[in-house]
Chains A and B, each alone.
Chain A
Amino acid sequence: MRSLAADSFRFCTIGGALLVTFLLVAAIAALFLVPDISDVRANLLSAEMRYSLKLSLMTGILSTLLVMLFAMPIGYALSRFDFPFKGLVKTILDLPIAFPELVLGLCLLLLFGSTFVGSLFKALGLQFVFTKQGIVVAQFFTALPYASRILKSTFDYIDPKLEFVSRSLGYSIWETFRNVSLPLAKNGILAATVISFARCIGTFGTVLILAGGTYMKTEVLPMTLYLNISYGNMGMALTSGIVLTVVSFVAIYFFERAEVGL
């Protein structure tokens, strides 16, 4: 009886995993099988797709760099140091993961549109509402919590005693970070970079609200998909879907190899 219960439990869990995997594979396969390959090639070479791809890559790379620049110290601080309101800071930094993208976009629109923060950036020559810079800001806030969480768990896995020993051997905290923590966090940094890039490239709602979805102006790949599906241009929509999927695949591949969980 006991064995039967164990077998049925095993069957249910594995069965559930296989069912969802099959549905996902079928959905992704449909994206690649439905469109005509010559159409895809033509769409990839179209001016709109080239603009969208170029803008996505440029904003994606810039946002990822900014995300990593901030996520590294955030992840390290959350992992290593105790400071007042640490729990609250961690919760707020993680908030965008649970927030609907559209709401996050709305919040950013209000912050940069009608508060002193927006005016401050404007005075510095940075205008984020309905601009390309806005795309970077939207992508940054969407991807940052993922990167900081990955980096926090990466630093959690690095034994602080290694850093202690390094300090005892005469290395400053900065030298220790460079010689010990950074090389050991290599896989986590790679994973955080790839996931951030994928999140930046794929972000739609936040970008739409803050930067707008203007044809050939703030048109990134998800916007191309959205705009073309609105016009009924399935070929372009599917092509942008394929490009986004390829980016996601590459990201997940690196993420799995780095063996770092969220």
Chain B
Amino acid sequence: MRIRWIGVSVLVAVVAVVWAASIQGQAPAAAPAAARQAQPAARQATPAAAPARQATGLARAEDGHPNLNGIWQAMNSANYDVEAHNAKPGSHPELMGAWGAEPGGMGIVEGGTIPYKPEALKKKQDNFKNRMLVKVTNDPHRFDTGDTELQCFRPGVPRANYMPFPFQIFQNRDQILMVYEYKGAMRTVFMDKHQEAPVDSWMGWSNGRWEGDTLVIDVTGFNGHQWLDRAGNFFSDTAHVVERWTPRGRDHMMYEATIEDPAVYTRPWKVSFPVYRRLEANAQLLEFNCVPFVEEMMYTPLGLYNPPNRSSR
């Protein structure tokens, strides 16, 4: 009983804040339906949206918007480094050889370089040096650590979209659900009831809208622990990410994310890359529940990991 309370208390802290906010957030929901319905029409009339609206050959949902349902995946090496990078040996070449080596890549950053403030660039470089640092504590120091992916933490946005795992989009008129194979991380995109992020989180709070055939998602409410890749690129809890998902045919979309964070960057900057539909007839997300994969690494230094087959009994 005690154990469960310990675990639950953390959740409760989150839920408590969320409840408070969700209660406040219910007020806008009462806005007149007519006003809400008027918004998409107004957006479609914007010059930027007009050309995209004419795209043909797209699968469409019953409401006329592009139908993004399906399993998608990016095909790039940005998860190693979002900037252009050479192929190189991995962190433990003495053990991992070519298995652990990292492919080169052209990068996905528009203009090539992330516009860090000087002190933030220093932190990025420190991050890289400490990328395999694991610090398991029962206080907030557990987040003074290396890459979150190493410890099976949620990847945040936009990183989740270019990790080397498929993800699945489930689309409704009022909500869009995105489920990522990595960790089974999920996010709900609210298309109708927009609200300010009620609480900070790993995956952020997503408010979505259609601009012509482009799904635009405003993501805020990050907790500031997100890394963008294994190279130490990062943003803070003041980050604001605007994603643009634009289908270019039935089986691929262009993805763009503008990242704004005055605490870290001198100006907003952008990543872009295509995502492709997984066309295998039997394509399906499988579980990648990585918690059991990281327990030995995380808990051995504390003397807390000892699988039964290693005990003396």
Q: Do A and B bind each other?
A: no
